[in-house]
Amino acid sequence: MPQQPTFDVQGALAAMADYPVMLRRLGVIRVIEVDLAGSGIDPADAGPVTVKAKPTWSTRLPDAQVDRPAVTVPAYLSPTRFSLFADGRVDATATKLSVTELDTDSAGVRLLDLARQVVNAERENAAAAAKNPPELPPVSLPNRLSLPSLRNAGICVAQQSRAVDLRNRLESGKDLVSASDDKTVTDARHAVLGHVLDVWDDRTGRWHSLCARRGTYRLPGGTTFTHDDEGPISMAVTARDQAEPDDTLYLHQSLVRWTGWSLVAPRPGQPVVTEDEGRVPSAPEGPGLPGFSVGFTAKPGSLPRLRFGVGYRFQLRIVNAAGHVEPLQPASADFSRAVPAGSAPPAKYLRFEPISSPVVVAQAPMTEGESLETLVIRPDPWPGGIIGSILAPILGTGSTRHLAPPKVNQQLCEEHGGFDNAQGVPDPGRYSLIAQRDAADLATVGTADPNRAGQRYYSGTTLPVSWLADPISRGFALAGLPGGLVKVAFDPVAGQSWPNVRAARLQLIDGTGTPQWNALLRVLTVPVPRGERREVRLSSYLNNADLALLGHLGWLADSGASASTIAAVRADTAAGQCWQITPYRMLTLVNAVRVPVTAPVLDTVAFVDADEPREPGSHRQDLAVAATVHRPSTGTLTMTATWTDLLDDPIEQPAGPENRVRRAIPQVLAAEGRPLPELTVGYAPDPATGAQVRFTATQGFGDTRRRVVSYALTGTTRYMEYFAQRGRVVLRGSTATQVARAGIAPGTDVVRSLDGTLTYRRTIDYTVNEAQGTIARIPSGAIPNDATVEVALVALPVSRPSAGQPLVVDLPSTARPLPPKPAWIVPTFGWTESSANLGRTRTRARSGGGLRVFLERGWYSSGVGEQLAVVLADGSMSGDDEQLRTIVTRRAADPVTARTATPTEFPAAAEFTLAKARVAGIVPVELPERTVSVAAHDVVFDTERKRWACDIVLPPGSQHQPFVSLVLARYQPNSLDGLHLSPVAQVEWVQLAPDRTATAVTELLDLTKVTVTVAGRSPSGTAAVPGQPNAVSVLVQSASGLNPGDLDWTVVGPADGQRLTAAAQPGGTTLWTGTLRLPTSRLLRAYRLVIVEQEQHAGGGRLVYSDVIRL
């Protein structure tokens, strides 16, 4: 037990200083009145006078043992020295007193906390901006931080410069203590022990003492008495903790704070202590003297009521050192020394406490992704998922919340007059209601939610409001819904009044339109279209009569704001839309869909820079993409690219070239240029593009080749997390266990131990086959064999491919093709055959000038569409241009035959009849300052020779058999400017075959007579036979049977055939003609004609043309 304190006489008397009645009973305090009349002292004299008093009293002690010294006190008696304390009251104006209903300490602490948050946020933003690449600011100050709310804490009477006044008084007291004689002059200020505070309210129109008390004194020996007086309130100073020694004293500017009860007596009941319920403080029993105790209560009927909307004035009466205080004058209308002073209206006690947003309670257990503030419905059909899961009831079909007025404390309700009777007096009969409702705990409402730890739900249709509801939370308001603000009242229970009010319900449904209120069921039905969400602000609204009680609006009216501004703020406040007074709570209403409502539409895929689509040598392609999507339901867009690579590596593809389909996912370039695998789609329409999404994508190919790429999009739902499902499975060995029949959405699988302490790692502890929807244990991982684990995942489908056909983009090559590798070249001929006159006239034509170039393998060096180009002189070119002659195709006449005309040396692109494209102005790599033309030809693969082949036709024109020296190059029609043509490859001179047309006409009346003609250009002779054209002869062959083979024919007639007669024709051609006789009618036997043309040389003939005509 604590040691009982010991006291001497002086200590005991000092301990009684707060109890004047005891000091008077003990004779310590004696009141001496001095009548100055006839004393010769002028009270108006401003100078000091000396007051001397000698007390006398009777005593049982011998006079020799009693010393009765006289007390001599110099003092000021002039009324001017008592101006601050006239008639026992303090001059509130002169002493700079003021009143406020704010909790200034709380407001100051919150502002300091806000300042710290702002500084920290700015540091975070600066750190993000300093990173490379810079990151987006993690904090948006207007969205995250706001001014702190203000609080009420009764009415505070404060004094300006109070610390300065205390310092002056301490200095004066030090002078009194240090005085060495009794000549120190004192006045009334030196006799002030404390003050009592009085309050006047405009309801009663009377003054009330806040310090009137009834004391019960218990003396040693059991004697008890009661005494009514007024207890003084005195100054309290603080100092730093002893761990930090400091001689500085701290004094609050607040003199006293009135919270609706006595300032000198405790409130009834015990205080609430939340830290330790066993530590309940009790009222002090007294000064600690043995056998002495005292207890105080407020004097019955003395206290006024603290109520919002009521005006108050305050005054201080002085308590002197003897405990004397001038009696209160309750009906006094003298406000000259009050605060506010008589010239000002009384200070209204107004509410600064915010009206909190309504209480939200779920009506059913939470589903995946839900919270109290997030309501989710899922109209999509369920495709089936985890084996053995109870997923369907967990997901549910609807979402409903109970909404009820916010809970407040008993004192706030009391200050609203919530417990007053019709006469405005507190009703003692409501104490049990206060005790019951004040103790109500929202954390115990309803039933514990099995799906959410710490959450509860109430399954009934009407949530009982069992707590003390905010008296001016008249209902809930929802802002942000179609049709404007929605308000629903917290109506009182039928026949009753506050606090017996009724909650309401908010129900989310699938649909469109405006919210509908069902008064009978007290449910507000809010439709949200499929795939959309609504962010709504939930707040309490007020009645117009409540606005007069709000301090913020009082400040606004006093600020000089315009009438329109004041009216607008008042309207917003009444509607619950002024966040400082009626703070809101965000509710998210989600109509979740498994896949986007509509498929994305790929509008355009274009080059970011149309003039420079790619950089030379680049392996990458940047694209500007535009797509129309259903923004509300589309969370991400993934771009897919599909193309065919033509592979022709003779080692990897020995049988021939292969077409290999490739697929890739182009990266999306974020704002700072960082590539991302997908695009995050904003929910709200873009101000410029609406539903259309525009972004830049980049794709790497690993080389510079041209590709024709088909692009498509896949839109993934924004609401994937709302379709998560959970279940328990047993993983045994490495056997795959199916957990989702429809497949698993990529990256959504989570495997944990049953107690939730371990999260297993994919590819280390287990593997996933997303397409088949299976999970398999990895034996070397951390999952024990035969372990039961909890699996969470999202089952497919969760996305939709883009509608319509993919968009095809031809991506140019960024480098020149490799030079071609000609293997060999052979002439080619074109044959046509026709019949007329019932078969009597047969014509065969041979087209000359054809060449087939065989190329070594390794084609498509520049990608798809690569061609073989004949490089030609660009425009007119002089024959002495030796520099360009080395890289262009040339032509020359046959030197061994006489010619009728000299061919042009440089053929034109138009002469190449099989060319797929003819392009001029091409820059060759060999001469970058010059240009050439090209005749581009397609190539085909010769499966027999395992080579690429290209047919080129250059008609001989006016020449019989000219020579040509081809210069070849690869040509890529879709390439960056200046990079279309490869380095050239030159082919040896080759001779072009001439054109020939042979006709055999059988006489109608003589079926044995046949006239043969051969037409074409011919040389005018050779060195052996100058001036003579080539020799043409015709052999007649016959065979038996209807379909003889090539070896069944035999020559009929001369072995060297019949020579035709040559005749020059206009235009430089030669016509050979002759008539032949068949041994029999052509109807009786099969006949054919073999035509042979030869050049005549000294060493023998050279075959030029040969053909066969079947008769």
DSSP label at 326? P
pLDDT over 90 for what percent of the chain? Answer: 56
Cα 541 from Cα 670, distance rounded (Å): 43
Confidence (pLDDT) at 394: 43
Using alpha carbons, list the distances in angstroms from residue 858 to 826, 868, 975: 21, 13, 19
What Rg value do the Cα atoms of the chain yield, rounded? 56
Residue type for position 483: G
Confidence (pLDDT) at 389: 40
Cα 581 from Cα 555, distance rounded (Å): 13
If pLDDT is split at 50, 70 and 90, which confidence band does 1096 have?
confident
Confidence (pLDDT) at 439: 86
* Residue 834 reports pLDDT greater than 90: yes
* pLDDT mean over 41-63: 69
Confidence (pLDDT) at 878: 65
- Return the SS3 of 168: helix
Residue 494: CB atoms within 10 Å: 7
Task: Encode burial over 245-254: b for 16+ CB neighbours within 10 A, e otherwise.
Answer: eeeeeebbeb
If pLDDT is split at 50, 70 and 90, which confidence band does 239 have?
low
C-alpha dihedral (921, 925, 928, 933), degrees to nearest 10: -20
Instruction: Render 426-473 in DSSP notation, one character per residue.
Output: B-GGGHHHHHHHHT--GGGSSEE-TTSTT-EE--SSS-B--S-B-TT-
Confidence (pLDDT) at 227: 94
Contact 827, 752 (CB under 8 A): no
Confidence (pLDDT) at 422: 84
Cα 578 from Cα 354, distance rounded (Å): 10
This prediction has a pTM of: 0.78
Contact 539, 584 (CB under 8 A): yes
pLDDT over 70 for what percent of the chain? Answer: 87
* Residue 445 reports pLDDT greater than 60: yes
* pLDDT mean over 843-867: 94
If pLDDT is split at 50, 70 and 90, which confidence band does 447 have?
very high
Residues facing 660 on adjacent strands: 645
Cα 1019 from Cα 1062, distance rounded (Å): 12
- Return the SS3 of 832: strand
Q: What is the pLDDT of residues 379-419, one digit of tens each?
A: 876 555 554 443 433 444 579 999 999 999 999 999 999 99
Beta pairing, strands 374-377 & 585-591? parallel
If pLDDT is split at 50, 70 and 90, which confidence band does 172 have?
confident
- Phi first, then psi, for residue 21 (nearest 5°) are -60, -35
Beta pairing, strands 523-528 & 516-518? antiparallel
* pLDDT mean over 796-818: 94
Q: Return the higher-pLDDT residue of 52 and 710.
A: 710
DSSP label at 1062? E
**So where are the chain's domains?**
1-31+78-103+150-172+189-267+285-349, 359-382+394-584, 593-813, 816-991, 996-1110
Cα 992 from Cα 62, distance rounded (Å): 166
Q: Provide the H-helix boundaries in 71-157.
A: 104-130, 141-144
Q: What is the pLDDT of residues 530-544, one digit of tens each?
A: 999 999 999 999 999
Superfamily for 996-1110?
Immunoglobulins (2.60.40.10)
Cα 308 from Cα 545, distance rounded (Å): 12
* Residue 727 reports pLDDT greater than 80: yes
Q: What is the largest CA-CA distance in the chain?
A: 195
Say which range, 474-478, 721-725, 876-880, 990-994, has the weakest mean pLDDT: 876-880
Cα 478 from Cα 613, distance rounded (Å): 52
Cα 416 from Cα 546, distance rounded (Å): 10
Cα 925 from Cα 20, distance rounded (Å): 117
Cα 716 from Cα 800, distance rounded (Å): 7
* pLDDT mean over 170-175: 72
Confidence (pLDDT) at 177: 64
Contact 447, 457 (CB under 8 A): yes
Using alpha carbons, list the distances in angstroms from residue 548 to 126, 161, 416, 653, 1050: 45, 33, 12, 90, 130
Residues facing 102 on adjacent strands: 152
Residue 80: CB atoms within 10 Å: 8
Cα 274 from Cα 270, distance rounded (Å): 12
Residue type for position 589: L
Cα 432 from Cα 478, distance rounded (Å): 35
Return the HEC string of 903-969: CCCCCCHHHCCCCCEEEEEECCCCCCCCCEEEEEECCEEECCCCEEEEEEECCCCCCCCCEEECEEE
* Residue 902 reports pLDDT greater than 90: no
* pLDDT mean over 338-366: 94
Using alpha carbons, list the distances in angstroms from residue 1075 to 832, 998, 1086: 23, 13, 18
* Residue 916 reports pLDDT greater than 70: yes
Place of tokens 């400017």: 977
- Phi first, then psi, for residue 582 (nearest 5°) are -120, 75
Q: Return the higher-pLDDT residue of 79 and 308.
A: 308
Using alpha carbons, list the distances in angstroms from residue 699 to 534, 662, 705, 807: 36, 13, 13, 15
The rounded mean pLDDT for the chain is 87
Cα 670 from Cα 677, distance rounded (Å): 10
- Return the SS3 of 547: helix
* pLDDT mean over 227-243: 77
Q: What is the number of residues in the chain?
A: 1111
Cα 939 from Cα 868, distance rounded (Å): 7
Contact 139, 121 (CB under 8 A): yes
Q: Return the higher-pLDDT residue of 189 and 20.
A: 20
Q: What is the pLDDT of residues 56-112, one digit of tens each?
A: 777 776 766 666 666 666 665 655 555 556 678 888 888 899 999 888 888 888 889
581 burial (CB, 10 Å; 0-12 / 13-18 / 19+) is buried
If pLDDT is split at 50, 70 and 90, which confidence band does 597 have?
very high
Q: What is the pLDDT of residues 487-497, one digit of tens each?
A: 999 999 988 99
Q: Provide the H-helix boundaries in 330-438.
A: 391-395, 410-415, 431-438
Say if residue 133 is preceded by a cis peptide, omega within 30 of 0: yes
Residue type for position 161: S
Instruction: Render 1022-1033 in DSSP notation, one character per residue.
Output: BSSSBT---EEE
* Residue 115 reports pLDDT greater than 90: no
Q: What is the pLDDT of residues 255-289, one digit of tens each?
A: 899 999 999 999 886 655 555 555 544 545 556 67
